[in-house]
Amino acid sequence: MNKQLVGTLVAGLILFIWQFISWNVLKLHQSEMQYTPKQDQIMQTLSQLDLEDGHYMIPMVPDGASMDDEVKLRESMTGQPWATVSYHNAFEVNMGMNMMRGFLLDLLSAFLLVWILMKFRENDFMTSLLASLGVGVIGYLTISYLHQVWMETDSTGYLIDAIVAWGLVGSWLGWWLNRK
């Protein structure tokens, strides 16, 4: 139990600290929050539209549209501008709660990885490292990279996160779980 608890706590801290470094120090995700000098015009226009909080793909067919309508829209969009918009009616700063939620998610993720690694019949440093990297890469491929494929975004920061964060976690767990 001690191995799982300490392994989880330290691995969760490693993930949390890496995320701070990735987002705030190295700015690996800066491409997701680009500045435009037209932001005031854009926000003024969006706020006048009486949108509900949500994520919008523009243009998009309305709910209940036929497959023919979707095909026609796709054909008419070819070569035309398009956008995804995440819209919120009010900006609320809740850094403490967001950081707490992030840390709890990191602890849960670390706990699940430690649990998996402790189920291995044979485990050594390299097995822990490679399994941890595998978890990170699977997460990247099925979430961030898949989003990049469909939404034409830059997921390089997430790839670096997957390799570095989970590599560090795997190195820690490879050493910690295999101590005699």
Measure the CA–CA gap between 103 and 120, rounded to whole angstroms: 26
Tell me the one-letter amino acid at 65.
A
Residue type, 7: G
In the prediction, which pLDDT does 93 show?
86
Q: What is the pTM (predicted TM-score) of this model? A: 0.88
Phi, psi (5° rounding) for residue 122? -125, 125
* pLDDT at residue 66, as a whole number: 95
The secondary structure of residue 31, as a DSSP letter, is G
Q: What pLDDT is attached to residue 145?
A: 96
Tokens representing 91 are: 């900006």
* Tokens 């243009």 belong to residue: 59
| Strand ranges inside 59-142, DSSP E | 83-87
- Please enumerate, as own/partner, the contacts of 96-105 that have beta carbons within 8 Å and a separation of 24 or more: 102/16, 102/19, 103/12, 103/16
Residue 140: other Cβ atoms inside 10 A: 20
- Taking a C-beta distance cutoff of 8 angstroms, is the pair 117, 128 a contact? yes
Tens of pLDDT along the chain (180 residues) come to 799 999 999 999 999 999 999 999 999 999 988 999 999 999 999 999 999 999 999 999 999 999 999 999 999 999 999 999 999 999 998 999 999 999 999 999 999 999 999 999 999 999 999 999 999 999 999 999 999 999 999 999 999 999 999 999 999 999 999 987
